[in-house]
Amino acid sequence: MSSLFHITVDGRPVPVEPGQTIGAALHAAGVRSWRTTRFGGRPRGLFCGIGVCFDCLISVNGREPERACLLEAEPGDEVRTA
Amino acid sequence: MMYDLVVVGGGPAGVAGALTAALAGLRVALVDSGVRLGGQYFRHAATPKPAAGLDRFLRQGRALGTRADVLLRHQVWNVSSEPDGSLTVHCLTRSPAALPGDGGSAGSPGSVDSAGAAGAAGAAGAAGAAGAAGAAGAAGVAGSGERAVRVRARRLLIATGAHDRPLPFPGWDLPGVLTAGGAQALLKGGGVVAGGRIVISGTGPFLLPVAAGLAGAGSRVLGVYEANGGLGLARHPLLALGKAGEAAGYAAALARYRVPYRTRQAVVAAHGKHEVEAVTVARLDKDWNVLATRVVECDTVAVGYGFVPQIELGTQLGCRTRPDVDGGPVLDVDEALRTSVPGVWAAGEPAGVGGWRLAELEGRIAGRSIVADARGAVSGEVAPVIGRRRERWRAFGEALQRAYPVKPGWQGWLRADTLVCRCEEVPLARVREAQALGATDARSVKLLARPGMGWCQGRICGYAVSCLTGEPPQPPRRPIAQPVTLGALASLADTDLTGTDLADTSLTDAELAGTDLTGTDDPPAH
């Protein structure tokens, strides 16, 4: 049921519990920022945690950026931080 | 096919409303952006730990899954009214198919969202379109993996809940600063503690369960800083409101984990290079002006200053709003939870902030009113006992809002370079500059300085910008409630629901005969 799987973050394996979002998995692994802002280059990660603020945008498997807090992680997902 | 009811929002209000209507025989679809039902309060992990309230909700969710189409991972970006009086809910999803087994909440046999052959049951055949079950038009958007899905219904229940209301302060955009709801969501949904050494700040009773939850899960909670109140937990308003058990439970939890609870104090700045490393905690006067400060080292901050109900689907349709007790706009509903627009109901926080019990009760009241409407009856009748119960919970919610107002002194916490708008990176200085140029209201400030023009559409900074311009928060103007790609919009033109069977929309006699909407006040599926 709850066997861990892995995703890769910039090539590094990160463990995930089934049902966790990308954002939760990153946060649990101590990765708390994964993009920078357009103007000030400020680091951004989770803030609202429920899909409202869009701070946590992240690209998974080369797709357009999505909200990490809403996106359920799937085995083998490849995540790139900016 | 057209649904009798579409519910937007899968929390306690939405599920109660949808289930009440479905049990009465109505054809119901429920749409939610989450991966599981629950909303914020009943957010849970894929394999939830047993808990009385949650177990009951999950039973309701399972009952709903067998009687209605539950569309999870669907984000609603617009609701429009059609010339024939029906409503179209426009959604986006990356979900390839309804996934069964998500806490028993999704995957009913006739689910709208199963990926199927293009053109199934009425959706005109755009390449790659999925339109199974004939209930929704769906179109694949090349490249993005995102599909536009439309759900048509005679009636709409807006049960979209609320999000945290943050206030800006220096350093609030450092990683490691989260909303209180965000920290709670990490814990409830993913079993992840937001940090090892955490500080909680803001105002309102919601800070207590967040602190208790995090402490219980192994975080070291260095303090709960409540900006209001000078009385401490022993005189907490929960006690005066007949919630002694709940308040005592939190007090006991905080005592057990030795979590200090300090009133008239708040985090007024966060410090750190790449992440938060420390905060400035201030002692405040009654208007939240800073009296004295000290630095507390920590790795995480959770902040929340009340809630913002999500009402933009209602304002898209022209529903009348009213100011809630705290001045924030909510949808104006009557005793049967009808908005000012025929065919549109609202329940839970969008009708006034009051917590999950009120939300669930309102969902049931709305559900009954919707059933009466579907049967052609006058839908305004609410059993007095239920109406009185709702009034009690409303009074409770309003008393809490009055006990935990946002006081203007927070504006003095900001520096010229403090970001007010995180998305567009607009510092306070640019807001002041716009005001100096003659922008006297929040909208003019937005047009000149861009706060609220970014991804979040002003959901995060809107309240603060209103306060800074001295204007009460205005109802949202968001014709598009979620970012939607041009490709998704273009695909809609190819999926007109020309085959929609408009004739097949009313309850049959057989269906009516099989319904049982008793007058009892038992919770649905209890």
Q: How far is it between the farthest Cα atoms of chain B? A: 71
Is residue B456 a contact partner of residue B497, using CB atoms and an 8 Å limit? Answer: no
pLDDT in tens, B309-350: 999 999 999 999 999 999 999 999 999 999 999 999 999 999
The per-residue pLDDT for range B227-247, each reduced to its tens digit, is 998 665 666 666 666 666 777
pLDDT tier at B487, thresholds 50, 70, 90 = confident
Give the confidence band of B523 by pLDDT, cuts at 50, 70, 90. very low
Whether A27 and chain B come into contact, CB under 8 Å, resolves to yes
Q: Which of B186, B459, B485 comes nearest A27 by C-beta?
A: B186
**Which among B406, B407, B430, B409 is positioned nearest to B418, based on CA atoms?**
B430
Between positions 57 and 76 of B, the ones with CB within 8 A of A are: 75
Provide, as residue numbers in chain B, all residues whose Cβ is less than 8 Å from the Cβ of A32.
175-176, 275
Query: Could you tell me the maximum CA-CA distance found in chain A, to the nearest angstrom?
Result: 44
Give the model's pLDDT for residue B172.
98
Residue tagged 């990765």 (tokens): A31
> Is residue A13 less than 8 Å (CB to CB) from chain B?
no
Say which range, B98-112, B183-197, B257-271, has the weakest mean pLDDT.
Answer: B98-112
Shortest CA distance from B307: residue in chain A: A48
pLDDT, mean of residues B89-115: 52
Say if residue B61's pLDDT is above 60.
Answer: yes
Q: Which two tokens stand for residue B382?
A: 């609410």
- pLDDT grade, residue B195 (50/70/90)? very high
* Mean pLDDT taken over chain B: 85
Instruction: Between B206 and B520, name the one with better pLDDT.
Output: B206
Q: From B383, B404, B500, B379, select the one nearest B122 (Cα to Cα).
A: B500
Tally Cβ neighbours within 10 Å of residue B48.
Answer: 19
pLDDT at B110 over 80: no
Cα A16 from Cα A25, distance rounded (Å) = 6
- The pLDDT assigned to B94 comes to 83
The reported pLDDT for the residue numbered B145 is 73
pLDDT value of position B242: 65
The single-letter DSSP state of residue A21 is B
pLDDT at B434 over 50: yes
Q: Above 70 in pLDDT, residue B208? A: yes
Q: Do B178 and A47 touch (CB under 8 A)?
A: yes
Instruction: Answer whether residue B433 shows pLDDT above 50.
Output: yes
Please tell me which residue, B249 or B70, carries the higher pLDDT value.
Answer: B70
Residue-wise pLDDT tens digits, B15-29: 999 999 999 999 999
B337 CB near a chain A CB, below 8 Å?
A: no
Contacts with B182 from chain A: Cβ below 8 Å: 46-50, 69
What confidence score (pLDDT) does residue B513 get?
A: 36
Instruction: Verify whether the Cβ–Cβ distance B182 to A46 is below 8 Å.
Output: yes
Write the DSSP symbol of residue A58. E
ipTM: 0.96
Beta strands per DSSP E along A3-77 = 5-9, 12-16, 35-36, 43-44, 57-60, 66-67
Q: Which two tokens stand for residue B490?
A: 């273009």
Which among B36, B44, B147, B178 is the top mutation candidate for probing chain A, defined by the most A β-carbons within 10 Å of its own β-carbon? B178
| Cα-based distances in Å from B330 to B160, B446, B499 | 12, 22, 37
Pairing state between β B419-421 and B162-164: unpaired
Question: pLDDT confidence of B50, banded at 50, 70, 90?
Answer: confident
Asked if residue B145 lies in contact with residue B97, where contact means CB atoms within 8 angstroms, the answer is no
Fill in the DSSP letter of residue B175: T
